[in-house]
Structure 1
């Protein structure tokens, strides 16, 4: 076999290996991608792409034991130059893992867009756009503590957010405690029981009638347990797929180096 023939055969072998690896990598990527699915929140964000400022609040949630299905309803608040509009979404089906992720976030903002920048973080409704913004209100002292007060024309926001009082010390804790601008959810001061979120939003006296609040504790506990197991299983499968992909890639890389190292001998 002459040198030219060896070179041609070598090129063919390397090309075949590269194509095989490419197909395998593509299949692995597809397998991992299929474990993730776009949530209704992602779709709302896409639909509101032209807006520069908005908030998405988890307004209500529900589950069906018989069909093992889960649903969310959202409150969408859009800030315009001269007004603020609010609307409720229809009920949206969500995955067990997404339901589990936001079990403690009812009544909270779970996604927002501020000055064109999208953030996904669980915070008390109004914290990122309106509370502390002098365009909408001011801090005032009441009984030795400072609370946020909306101006008259924006007074409807308190009931819209279902937040009758915004304590300054909590807001300062959120802004200065490493939560603001991060992905960490804020439910109140560290070391205390949750001040914000599902527990407070569904408690008696919250003034809001919701499907989730009407469910008995036994039902909620069953749902929590079920979606927690499902979410753990999904994460475990994703990690396993990721490890398999990395291991397979290392093997193929080693195999390719071994073959190319022997080429031309």
Structure 2
């Protein structure tokens, strides 16, 4: 079944269901940026929100499109249902009450049916992402904390854990690069190519791979520190955030004492 056929089948299976006010496409299909690899994101608006009866209705509707091989019913978010069918069509559903639609805008949605005209009451465009200074500071401190654990991994010869540490540093660097571009249509985590610049991609590609041995573990941590920390300092200035100088300095001092490494960038 094609994605368009899946959308039509689910639309017709829910259009006249009791208590269902509207059904929209969101995500890539809602903003017109879908490709052959996109999942299908839906928003359903119901009188009573995310009830068991609506979940059962949705499971029946998705079941009409193929055999369901994965079904997560409100497991991570109380209004979210994730499903995958046997042909690996991925559908996500957000279940909202009418008043909860205020956080959405017309440019992020495509109406499939809208019995009460909810779409016309929504703002036309989405506001650009607003930086969250507290979250950014947490990201920086978490990067420094994971970096500081390098001395522990080296001392215990936990080189596999060292590789996992690099994974965490890499995620923090990616989040920083996305924040720098302030991309308006972020989409899911599988859309990195459209969220960062060519210069940022070259930076990521040029970083060394993490290997489970002492020298590689140390050099890779330092490479990520050199890539992340100067950029994060610059963004902290833009956001008016006080840099955690004492924490970073204490971390580099500990790494120098234990494994003999220096800060790999100049802060002057």
TM over 0.5: no
TM-score, normalised to structure 1, is: 0.23
Query: Higher strand share goes to which structure?
Result: 1
Structure ID, larger Rg: 1
TM-score, normalised to structure 2, is: 0.23
- Give the structure, 1 or 2, with the largest relative contact order (CA under 8 Å, sep 6 or more): 1
